[in-house]
Amino acid sequence: MIECKQFETFSFKTPAFGGNEPNRLCWYFNARCRAKEWMELRVVGCHGGETPKHRTSAFVVDERLAIDAGSLTSGLDLRAQYRLQAAIISHAHLDHVRDLATIADNRCQVDCEPLIVAATKDTIQVLKKHFFNGKLWPDFSVIATKARRPTIRFQELKPEQPVELAGYQVRAVSVSHTIDASGFIVRGADAAIAYSGDTGPTDRLWELLNAEPDLKALLVEVSFPDREQKLATVSGHHTPRTLLKDLKKLRRPKDLPTLLYHIKPAFQREVEQECARLKGVNLAVTAIGDQYVL
């Protein structure tokens, strides 16, 4: 069943894959997603930490484009892992890249096409030097799959330059974190969604989003409660207070469905309560397994 109309005219939250029997409405949504009229966003992991009930950041659009890779293997079955065409990586912190290691290993065993790992030059450099370096993990950009193609292929994203990836136009936008970090604007045929990546207060992202037509939803991070503002500031993250201030840089924040992620497990309840009190915005907290049709 369609369990909730999260944003009335904008989007529908559908049951998780593998959940209840799909109903006719779901098939209708899926057909329209396949026809590229709508985008389906699946929440694989949406937390700023990990426990058996919390997974680090990873989202999938229409089963083929991953946004960050914090839980791509802990949260997706093998077939879903094989279906992915590209992963856009916001920055090199482990909670956003860790499952690149295991998805590369899994895809290597079968005749998958190379998984495109797209990120800024800085992020790719860190991944090559410190991650797929033949020490911490094998270099899967060299190791071939059963189909004798490299398991992963790096693709550099230049800030604000649109690139075609997995059938979408993707733009990286620099944001404000402790290392080089990007948000993304992902545009399909008739709709676009935006992703903040890890960021504290920033400006350019909001300027670009104000100029973006057909923006259906924004995934934005919030990590700490207001009382941990110092920690949020030094670690380049938002509290509900700074998030509200940033969202007010949008021309019509109330009209934009805004999906929150990256809450630290220790503060989940507190941050949710503080966000529930924010006025003039249209917020929902994401949960593992959520699916949105946008």
Q: What are phi and psi of 185, to 5 degrees?
A: -115, 120
Q: Are 261 and 183 in contact (CB under 8 A)?
A: no
User: Where does this chain touch Zn ion (CB under 5 A) — which range of 89-97, 117-125, 199-207, 286-294?
Assistant: 89-97
Residue 184 φ/ψ region, left for φ over 0, alpha for ψ in the -120 to 50 degree band, beta for the rest: beta
**In this complex, which beta carbon is closest to Zn ion, that of residue 62 or of residue 95?**
95
- Which has the closest alpha carbon to 126: 156, 102, 158, 164? 156
User: Where does this chain touch Zn ion (CB under 5 A) — which range of 8-16, 85-93, 114-122, 132-140?
Assistant: 85-93
Cα 146 to Cα 151: distance, rounded to the nearest angstrom: 9
Cα 164 to Cα 152: distance, rounded to the nearest angstrom: 17
Q: How far is the CB of 82 from Zn ion (least distance, A)?
A: 26
Contact positions with Zn ion (CB under 5 A) in 244-283 = none
- Cβ count within 10 A of residue 181: 27
Q: Are 165 and 154 in contact (CB under 8 A)?
A: no
Q: How far is the CB of 179 from Zn ion (least distance, A)?
A: 7
Q: Where are the alpha helices (DSSP H) in 35-144?
A: 72-75, 78-83, 94-97, 99-108, 121-126
**In this complex, which beta carbon is closest to Zn ion, that of residue 194 or of residue 294?**
194
Size of the site for Zn ion (CB under 5 A): 3
Q: How far is the CB of 28 from Zn ion (least distance, A)?
A: 35
Q: How far is the CB of 291 from Zn ion (least distance, A)?
A: 22
Site string for Zn ion, 90-119 (x = CB under 5 A): ---x-x------------------------
Q: Does 198 bind Zn ion (CB under 5 A)?
A: yes
**In this complex, which beta carbon is closest to Zn ion, that of residue 54 or of residue 93?**
93
DSSP state of 143: S
Q: How far is the CB of 252 from Zn ion (least distance, A)?
A: 28
Q: How far is the CB of 69 from Zn ion (least distance, A)?
A: 12
**In this complex, which beta carbon is closest to Zn ion, that of residue 93 or of residue 187?**
93
User: Where does this chain touch Zn ion (CB under 5 A) — which range of 81-89, 167-175, 194-202, 208-216?
Assistant: 194-202
Q: How far is the CB of 70 from Zn ion (least distance, A)?
A: 7
**In this complex, which beta carbon is closest to Zn ion, that of residue 198 or of residue 228?**
198
- Which has the closest alpha carbon to 68: 98, 106, 28, 23? 98
Q: Where are the alpha helices (DSSP H) in the chain?
A: 24-34, 72-75, 78-83, 94-97, 99-108, 121-126, 204-210, 229-235, 240-247, 268-276
**In this complex, which beta carbon is closest to Zn ion, that of residue 38 or of residue 261?**
261
- Cβ count within 10 A of residue 277: 8
Q: How far is the CB of 228 from Zn ion (least distance, A)?
A: 15
Buried residues in 99-134 as b, exposed as e (16+ CB within 10 A)? bbbebbebbbeeebbbbbbbbbeebbebbeeebbee
**In this complex, which beta carbon is closest to Zn ion, that of residue 39 or of residue 157?**
157
Question: Which residues of the shown chain bind Zn ion in the complex (CB under 5 A)?
Answer: 93, 95, 198
